[in-house]
Amino acid sequence: MGVNTHPAAAPAAGAVAARGTVLAVDAGNSKTDVAVVGPDGAVLGTARGGGFQPPRTGLTAALDALGETVGRAFSRAGTAQAGHVSACLANADLPVEEAELADAVRERGWGRTAQVRNDTFAVLRAGLPQGAEPRGVAVVCGAGINCVGMLPDGRTARFPAIGRISGDWGGGQGLAEEALWHAARAEDGRGEPTALALALPGHFGLPSMYALIEALHLGRIPMARTHELTPVLFAAGADGDPVARALVRRLAEEVVTMAAVALRRLGLLDETAPVLLGGGVLAAGHPELNERIRALLADRAPKAVVDVVTAPPVLGAALLGLDRTGASAEAYARLRAHYGGPPMPSSGSDASDASDASDSADPSDG
């Protein structure tokens, strides 16, 4: 991902960045959440925008769109610049991409300092228990699938997570494609019967897979809408369809494989450690999927403590920002309370006084 040069979106004349103020950004493929957080943990302004997809739109256009959302959050916060930008971005899949995007964000002038991470780190940070060190593993399954882990000493475990060329399987989009493949073969006789052959076209009001294939191929239904078929797949699995159930079980295997490998690479496989599940697919509460994940992890990583992260990932981006600015325990508690989390005990800081844990991460461990 190359960085396109673009004039920085300079702060308004006379704008002063308050020391310790954080601009938190969680930018996924489908939506972006931005929050301006004061040094005391108060949320001063928020905004929501569209997805962040530099590979599709180009980096300049993606940052322009992100800048519009940032501008609205700044306006609501009554400022035009933050002390630090903590941005967790989709499509920042490799350490080199994180570094390039951080340079591009700094050029925009949104904060005096900036750090960019893959958006999976936001889920991990948001889901860590109150007062816990940055230690554990997160698996995110939304449009795609990814996994990261981190230790207090700065070591990380991560995967390239850029599709089939990096060994990935799963994610909402991948599941939809698998469902379409099986349904097409079921209808024309190449594959085993499945309720998906009627359920998938039925979702779009069509009578057959042939009609759905034609509509997708000719653009009458945008390919981007195939993600709508993932809930249809889970519903068919819950009704007992063997093909759908097999896909759900395969996703559970993939989630557990990624988590177990990350735990092993961090030396946590035989220790008590959190394994946090996030993203639209894993947070949706599909019983068979999540129960299967817990059962498999109990066998492969029996000391893992599994939890589903329902807090918005922008909270994780903001907490990572507070880690950098040396915020007080009260600031962490106030920020978490804003997003519906329980207040933090008065003793100790949210991050156990740890600085940003992945600053010294080894890029070769990606």
Residue 12 scores a pLDDT above 50: no
pLDDT confidence bin for 326, thresholds 50/70/90: confident
Residue 11 scores a pLDDT above 50: no
pLDDT confidence bin for 94, thresholds 50/70/90: very high
pLDDT at 143: 86
In the numeric block, which tokens belong to residue 265?
């690479």
Q: What secondary structure letter does DSSP report for 23?
A: E
pLDDT > 90 fraction of the chain, expressed in percent and rounded: 77
pLDDT at 340: 81
Each residue's pLDDT tens digit, 146-166: 999 999 888 999 999 988 999
Structural element, H or E, at residue 63? helix 59-77
Of the two residues 153 and 254, the one the predictor is more confident about is 254
pLDDT confidence bin for 3, thresholds 50/70/90: very low
pLDDT at 10: 42
Asked if 92 and 117 count as a contact pair (C-beta separation under 8 A), the reply is yes
Each residue's pLDDT tens digit, 26-59: 998 889 999 999 999 999 999 999 999 898 899 9
Q: What angle do CA 46, 346, 336 make, to 5 degrees?
A: 20
pLDDT at 150: 92
Q: Give the residue-averaged pLDDT of 62-70.
A: 96
* Burial of 7 (C-beta count, 10 Å sphere; 0-12/13-18/19+): exposed
Residue 130 scores a pLDDT above 90: no
SS (H, E, C) 124-181: HHHHCCCCCCCCEEEEEECCCEEEEEECCCCCEEECCCCCHHHCCCCHHHHHHHHHHH
pLDDT confidence bin for 18, thresholds 50/70/90: low
Asked if 248 and 232 count as a contact pair (C-beta separation under 8 A), the reply is no
pLDDT at 95: 92
Q: Give the residue-averaged pLDDT of 212-230.
A: 96
Structural element, H or E, at residue 262? helix 242-265
pLDDT at 341: 58
**Start-to-end C-alpha separation, the chain:** 16
Question: Across the chain, what does the average pLDDT equal?
Answer: 88
SS (H, E, C) 97-124: HHHHHHHHHHHHCCEEEEEEEECHHHHH
Of the two residues 349 and 43, the one the predictor is more confident about is 43
Q: Give the residue-averaged pLDDT of 206-229.
A: 97
pLDDT at 152: 87
Residue 310 scores a pLDDT above 60: yes
DSSP for 264-332 reads HHTT-TTS-EEEEEESTTTTT--HHHHHHHHHHHHHH-TTEEEEE--S-HHHHHHHHHHHHHT--HHHH
Strand 273-278 with 136-141, pairing: parallel
For the chain, give the number of residues. Answer: 366
**In angstroms, what CA-CA distances link 212 with 64, 230, 318?**
35, 15, 42
- Residue among 296, 301, 274 at smallest CA distance from 139: 274
